[in-house]
Amino acid sequence: MIQLFHVTKQYGAEAPALSDVSLEVHKGEFVFLTGPSGAGKSTLLKLIFCAEPTTSGQILVFGRNVSRLRPAQVPYLRRSIGVVFQDFKLLPHRTVAENVAVPLEVRGIHPREVVRKVAGALRGVGLDLKGGKFPLSLSGGEQQRAAVARALVGDPALLLADEPTGNLDADRTAEVMALLEAASARGTTVVVATHDRGLLARHKKRVIALEGGRVISDGDSIRRATGT
């Protein structure tokens, strides 16, 4: 599903945000990317959904080398990827339902089908009664659930979540993680960037740890090394 080969990302003359990172995420896997602030978690996600180009190295997503994608091809790759952000990135002047509909509208899906899918997505995150409300009238947890609904409404093969619970309390965090695990259970590959150690402890998943832009441990590797 995702393969990184010796990927380096450097902004100007600063120290590399990512340095010689190689890893692989398989189809249907649920993976945590962890590390302190500045470790390179968000940068890694940005490279995967082509928000940034790599400085060197190759990234394959769905078998396609994203480093070689022409700009015009990027939107079509992104339609197979759902993204959830810490700050939700919901449009304040659009209702929750309209926000969730955006990924479907950009694909030119018929309005009737959009209404049906949006209703399903909102039901899936427990916001079926809040579709007509504006994001700023919702709680943080509800806004993040709306963002998850938007990320999942197009049935993406890959879901990337960048600190999705960073702004939420424990109960709301549990709700959002339940939604991500449900998506994973349906076959979606999920990559969650977080620095929340408690989250890692509660959810027994593969953990890739980054520090200073380098992979310092990988759950798979650890298991292999320890024989567990």
Partner 1 sequence: MHRVVRLLRRAVDALRRAPLVTAVAVATVFVAVLVTGLFAAILGGGERLVAAWAGDVPISVYLAPGADVAAARSAAERIAAGRPVDPVTGAEALARLRASLGDEAGVLDGLGDDVLPASLEVRTAGLSLSGTRELAARLRGVPGAAEVDFGATWLERLATLLARARTVGVALLVAVAVATAVLVSNTLRLAVYARRDEIEIMKLVGATDTHVGAPFVVEGAMQGLAGAALAVATLLGASAALLPRLRAALPLASRIGRADVLPGALVAALLVGGVGLGVAASLLSLRRFLRRA
Tell me if 15 contacts partner 1 by CB under 8 A: no
Indicate which single residue of 27, 68, 107, 116 sits in contact with partner 1 (rule: CB under 8 A): 107
75 counts as binding partner 1 under rule CB under 8 A: yes
CB-facing half-sphere around the CA of 113: CA atoms within 13 A: 9
Our finding on whether 79 is near partner 1 (CB under 8 A) is yes
Rounded CA separation 132/150 (Å)? 15
Q: Does residue 11 interact with partner 1 by CB under 8 A?
A: no
- Applying CB under 8 A, does 182 fall inside the site for partner 1? no
Query: Which residue blocks in the chain are alpha helix, DSSP H?
Result: 41-48, 74-78, 96-105, 111-124, 140-152, 170-185, 197-202, 219-226
Rounded to whole angstroms, the maximal C-alpha distance in the chain is 53
CB 203, min distance to partner 1, A: 25
**Cα→Cα distances 7→59, 90, 155, Å:** 7, 31, 28
Using CB under 8 A, pick the residue from 1, 69, 102, 157 that binds partner 1: 102
Closest CA to 134 of 104, 96, 162: 96
Which CB sits closer to partner 1, 161 or 207?
Answer: 161
Q: Which stretch binds partner 1 (CB under 8 A): 8-16, 107-115, 171-179, 206-214?
A: 107-115
103 sits near partner 1 (criterion: CB under 8 A): yes
Q: Estimate the crossing angle of helix 140-152 against helix 111-124, to 10 degrees.
A: 130
Q: Which residues bind partner 1 (CB under 8 A)?
A: 49, 51, 72, 75-79, 83, 89, 91, 93, 102-103, 105-108, 110-111, 150, 154
